[in-house]
Amino acid sequence: MALWKPDPTFYASPRDAVSAPPEKLAYVAAFDRAAEKPDAIAVLDVDPDSGSYGDVVGWTELPYLGDELHHFGWNACSSALCPYAPHPHVERRYLIVPGLRSSRVYVIDTKDDPVTPKIVKILEPDELAKRAGYSRPHTVHCGPEGLYLTALGGANGEDGPGGIALLDHTSFDVLGRWEVDRGPQYFAYDAWWHIAHDVLVTSEWGTPSMIEDGVVGELLLGRKYGHALHFWDLRKRRHVQTVDLGDEHQMVLELRPAHDPTKQYGFVGVVVSVEDLSASVWVWHRDGDAWAAKKVISIPAEPADAASLPPVIAPFGAVPPLVTDIDLSVDDQWLYVSCWGTGELRRYDVSDPFHPVEAGSVRLGGITGRVPHPAAPDLPLAGGPQMVEVSRDGRRVYVTNSLYGAWDDQFYPDGVGAWMAKLDSSADDRGPGGFTLDERFFPNGDAFRGRRPHQTRLQGGDASSDSYCYP
């Protein structure tokens, strides 16, 4: 039933959203790599005044095995306030949770019991295949007139093209394929938009066969993974322009457009350059009538003894940083960059998006570092900061350590483990002291019941869930 007043977690502008009250719960997708136990949504207490702060306090198991939960999102968000399709009396209450491996999509209701959310609907893979021609659903975004769900594969696991399926945001039925004209686009991964400019942006990973059994060395060295950005007309659903970052830049993943709706720029992370194993962050922007992209951050590989490296990178004698996720604070000031290979989370001041200034770095885990968390100094950590989520007010940053089952196993063959950490980020202190680990927050190991934690969503929304139509 619709609300009488707008959902209190919707904000007209990013400026308003920054004043949102702190979240009390975090939802984390956790999956069982062996597919012997069901994947789950873990619910974490993130209220520092609570006795169970930092604990997993809720656990919703899925009814099937082997879904491989990855990214997920809210059914509705601040974009419901947009003037051309306004419907602010819907509720942000359902998590739309795709299984990246199974192609099944769960709708999970968090309203009645936020600590124990309930599955209310399951979209079977054939519905996505039949109605939209896609599989391997990846990213969920709440738009003003529906839910956008990116998918890596074609129908029933075919190798592509991947693209976007549209879902009805009340019935959650698959309405169909979003693209009217995809132009040369073939690979899919993330999608987000400049909503006030009717522009959609997509990025590229690889098709199901290129990822599901791990990184394929020949494809990587053959520069066959995705290396371009695509720009689309959001209204006409037509491909407008491809911006190729160069085929040495393999795997163009997370898109973080500026939240300020008057701006037309955003950041995208590149996992690895095959020329020197560096990772990079690019800013896309308007260049006259066209789109352009510029590399603004480059993070070099760190030399290491080949004997200490997993087989996949041993021949190189270096640890690639592997930038697998980035996140932009709602005020567009701070960019967080995960270096999953070296085990580092960097913070950049991107007030000037073309000249990011590093403003903090924290080490945790890493292929050779295995840096422990201060809460458990004797516990070497595998994995590294991977999915990163920033609270709406920008003060809290949550990270989880698993990237993707098959890839975890390649880069951390002795086990990636399971952990989550939280950092406090201060806007006043730009030095290292302004960006520190919260020693009270370190759920790990058995807390996740044998599952690997992946993406985090915060109660009431976070820095990568909402879009705003008003500055």
Give the nearest distance from C-beta 258 to another protein in angstroms: 14
Q: How far is the CB of 261 from another protein (least distance, A)?
A: 7
Tell me the sheet residues that pair with 265. 285
Cα(470)–Cα(131) distance, integer angstroms: 33
CB of 262 to another protein, least distance (A): 6
Nearer to another protein, 14 or 162 (CB): 14
- Cβ 255 to another protein shortest distance, Å: 19
What distance in Å separates the CA atoms of residue 323 and residue 249, rounded to the nearest whole number? 12
| Cβ contacts of 415 within 8 Å, gap of 6 or more | 382
302 neighbors 319 (Cβ within 8 angstroms)? yes
Nearer to another protein, 196 or 274 (CB): 196
Distance CA 136, CA 208 (A): 7
- Closest residue by Cα to residue 417 from 395, 390, 450: 450
| C-beta closer to another protein: residue 86 or 311 | 86
Q: How far is the CB of 72 from another protein (least distance, A)?
A: 22
Comparison of 2 and 314: residue with beta carbon closer to another protein = 2
Tell me whether residue 340 or residue 468 sits nearer to another protein (CB atom).
468
CB of 169 to another protein, least distance (A): 8
Closer Cβ to another protein, 19 or 431, answer by number: 19
Q: Which is nearer to another protein, 191 or 195 (CB)?
A: 195
DSSP state, 215? -
Residue 171's CB is within 10 A of a number of other CB atoms, namely: 10
Q: Which is nearer to another protein, 316 or 470 (CB)?
A: 470
Alpha helices by DSSP H, listed for 144-262, are 208-211, 217-221
CB of 194 to another protein, least distance (A): 9
Q: DSSP string spanning 4-24?
A: SS--TT--SSHHHHTTPPPPS
Q: Which helix (DSSP H) or strand (DSSP E) does residue 292 occupy? A: strand 290-299
Smallest gap from residue 51 Cβ to another protein (A): 32
Q: Residue holding tokens 């760190």?
A: 302
Q: How far apart are CA 383 and CA 163, in angstroms?
A: 29
Closer residue to another protein (CB): 37 or 263: 263
CA triple 65-453-390, angle to 5 deg: 135
Q: What SS3 class is residue 80?
A: helix
Please give the Cα distance from 174 to 404 (Å, whole number). 26
Pick 141 or 454: Cβ nearer another protein:
141
Q: Is 414 exposed, middle or buried (0-12, 13-18, 19+ CB in 10 A)?
A: exposed
The tokens describing 155, both together, are 């129908």
Shortest distance in whole angstroms from residue 195 CB to another protein: 7
**Minimum separation from the CB atom of position 8 to another protein (A):** 7
Q: Give 76 or 270: the residue with its C-beta nearer to another protein.
A: 76
Q: Which residue has the tokens 């960097």?
A: 346
Which residues of this protein are in contact with another protein, per CB under 8 A? 2-6, 8, 10-13, 16, 81-89, 144-145, 169-170, 195-198, 234-235, 261-262, 469-471
Listing DSSP states for 245-288 in one string gives --TTEEEEEEEEE-SSTT--EEEEEEEEETTT--EEEEEEEEET
Which residue reads 């709440």 in tokens? 142
Q: How far is the CB of 291 from another protein (least distance, A)?
A: 16
CA distance 323 to 306: 21
Three-state DSSP class for residue 362: strand
